[in-house]
Structure 1
Amino acid sequence: MQRLADFWRYGVLKTWRKAVAATMSPVYAALHRSTDRDPGVFVSRYGVKMTGNWRDRTFRYCMFATYGNDLADILAAQDRDFQFIDIGANQGLYSLLAGMNPRCRRIVAFEPVPATFAMLRGNIAINNLADRANLHKLAIAAEAGRTVIKVNQAHSGTASLADQSSYAVSEEVTIQTINAPVLDQILSTEWPGIVKIDVEGLEQQVITELARARSFHAVSGIFYEIDERWSDATAIRSQLERAGFRNFRRYGRGHHYDVYAQR
């Protein structure tokens, strides 16, 4: 039964949502006269406002709820004060969804690509979350410094520091990276932390730096993406188990899926 449910949820519904996003996005953009000069503000099917960016597939997926409700439901269900740590925030969908929950006391978001970071900052502002948001134009890596990230302007969600030949690259952008010592200056232990990691193959490295930070003991849950073409799911799970995480729930099917790990 679980396999059938997963096939329906992640095979049929998600494929249908992708088709709707591809078909309807040009219509929405034309009807609302969205342009570079005046991109407009749109309400996504998740219920949050986002600045128009119709040429970007990631934005279209946000608008038409292509990503499903797995993490959205987890964030909505939090019934005690928490902080949301969004690593690889992109344009901020999950930071915005966390902010819809009044128990979210603080949002800490990391997005290193300057153009995408500008969208994130704008979306935080139009959803009136600036007073709770701590935004950083940074990536988390093994070493602090500067490096180059590969970016696809038509699909901002595929920006990656990893060597992934399956992704199209339209430009390379120099970004700033930080590691555990700087994280210690940013993260708080005042509230339990829910972490989302979407870094296109660098999950294990990011978790290593999080685990080195003194604030890591306050993290109660980590929602992370796995693509078995470049992620080692077994190694990441072992890494988290050593850090005290005991409950692991998988969302999705095939080689590309998400996992929610809890202590």
Structure 2
Amino acid sequence: MRRTTVLDAAARALRGALFASRSLPNAAYYRLAGANYRYRAVATEKRVRDESFRSYELYNRHGNDWLLAALLDRCRDGECVVDVGANTGVYSLSVAAEYPAATVVAIEPNPEIAKTLRANVAASDFEDRIRSLEVGLGAENGSLPFYRSSYHELSSFNRFNAERWGARVVSVEDVPIRTLDSFVEGGEVPPPDHLKIDVEGFGLDVLRGARDVLATHRPFVYVEPHARSEGEPDDRGEAAAGIRDLLAEEGYAIIPGEDGRVCVPESP
């Protein structure tokens, strides 16, 4: 009885927070969202275009991203989407909602956030549409230190990104790393038709481990570049230039947008 009362109170407080959350400072937002996930209090409906899903995020974060719209415009039922850096699953859930016959593989290395991803998938009854993998993708198989950030979206294999916007590193732990090439070659992940990458400064490493996939299967690539060190612009720094060069070598045309790059395979 006591637990029910506490959960009801938490639910009422979080419902009230939904209307104010868009203007909350980052730290306050992540505290409230963390409580909502911890108690599984309120899984609200999030609408993206004409479809919807449910999640424990306080509002529809990233539901209006240009990069997400670009992915949804190009995707079709029956295709495979690999969502690298899935976080709490906005992109994966949106694809699964709009394309019920698509195959979605959501890859998230942060153990805590992987739990919230699975909670959102379950809240939407999408377990048969989205497969989640708790692993990092990189340039080679192995393991690397992962920096868990107090702002979960910034957690990264790169400490600089985990400490942006006033965030702090709350823990460091080794997590397994696989290449996308090894996953696809081993039959563990279907060849993707669409590859979304948002990994806080680690995108070039992901692409280096996916060169066979890029050359052979020619997926559309949706990538959000991030700086890897202080003073480096997200879209013009060394990491972003490396991403552009690698994709150009693989025969991709790059379309810049407001929050990422759509990379279109041209004739090999």
TM-score of Structure 1 vs Structure 2, range by shorter chain: 0.7 to 0.9
Q: How does 1:216-235 map to 2 (within 5 A)?
A: 217-228=216-227, 229=232, 231-235=238-242
The one-letter code matched in structure 2 to 1:222 is: V
Shift of 1:110: 0.8
Shift of 1:231: 4.9
CA distance in 2, matches of 1:237, 1:85: 20
Larger deviation: 135-144 or 157-166? 157-166
Q: How does 1:85-124 map to 2 (within 5 A)?
A: 85-102=82-99, 104-124=101-121
Deviations 1:179-213 (A, max 9, x none): 23234222323xx5111101111111100111134
Structure 1 segments of 4 or more deviating over 4 A? 24-27
Q: 2:67 aligns with which of 68, 71, 93?
A: 71
- The alignment status of 1:141 with 2:148, answered yes or no, reads no
- The alignment status of 1:240 with 2:247, answered yes or no, reads yes
Aligned twin of 2:10: none
Deviations 1:224-263 (A, max 9, x none): 01134265322211211211212x21122xxxx4111011
Instruction: Summarize the Cα distance change of 1:231–1:197 in structure 2 as closer, same or farther, 3 Å threshold.
Output: farther
CA distance in 1, matches of 2:199, 2:156: 7
Q: How does 1:27-42 map to 2 (within 5 A)?
A: 34=36, 36-42=38-44
- The alignment status of 1:193 with 2:193, answered yes or no, reads yes
What TM-score comes out, normalization by structure 1 length? Answer: 0.74
Instruction: Summarize the Cα distance change of 1:112–1:227 in structure 2 as closer, same or farther, 3 Å threshold.
Output: closer
CA distance in 2, matches of 1:162, 1:68: 27
Alignment length, in residue pairs? 224
- The alignment status of 1:251 with 2:262, answered yes or no, reads no
Instruction: Summarize the Cα distance change of 1:20–1:163 in structure 2 as closer, same or farther, 3 Å threshold.
Output: closer
CA distance in 1, matches of 2:134, 2:65: 26
Aligned twin of 1:81: 78
Deviations 1:104-150 (A, max 9, x none): 52001111111111111121122222112221100012332333211
Secondary structure at the counterpart of residue 257 of structure 2: strand
What 5-or-longer segments of structure 1 have no aligned partner?
A: 1-18, 52-58
Secondary structure at the counterpart of residue 256 of structure 2: strand
CA distance in 2, matches of 1:231, 1:92: 28
Shift of 1:151: 1.0
Aligned twin of 1:184: 185
Aligned twin of 1:203: 203
Instruction: Summarize the Cα distance change of 1:231–1:224 in structure 2 as closer, same or farther, 3 Å threshold.
Output: farther
Secondary structure at the counterpart of residue 172 of structure 2: strand
The one-letter code matched in structure 1 to 2:219 is: S
Instruction: Summarize the Cα distance change of 1:152–1:39 in structure 2 as closer, same or farther, 3 Å threshold.
Output: farther
What TM-score comes out, normalization by structure 2 length? Answer: 0.72
Percent identity reads 19
Shift of 1:162: 1.7
CA distance in 1, matches of 2:139, 2:197: 15
Q: 1:48 aligns with which of 53, 60, 70?
A: 53
Aligned twin of 2:147: 150
Instruction: Summarize the Cα distance change of 1:103–1:50 in structure 2 as closer, same or farther, 3 Å threshold.
Output: closer
Secondary structure at the counterpart of residue 208 of structure 2: helix
CA distance in 1, matches of 2:239, 2:37: 41
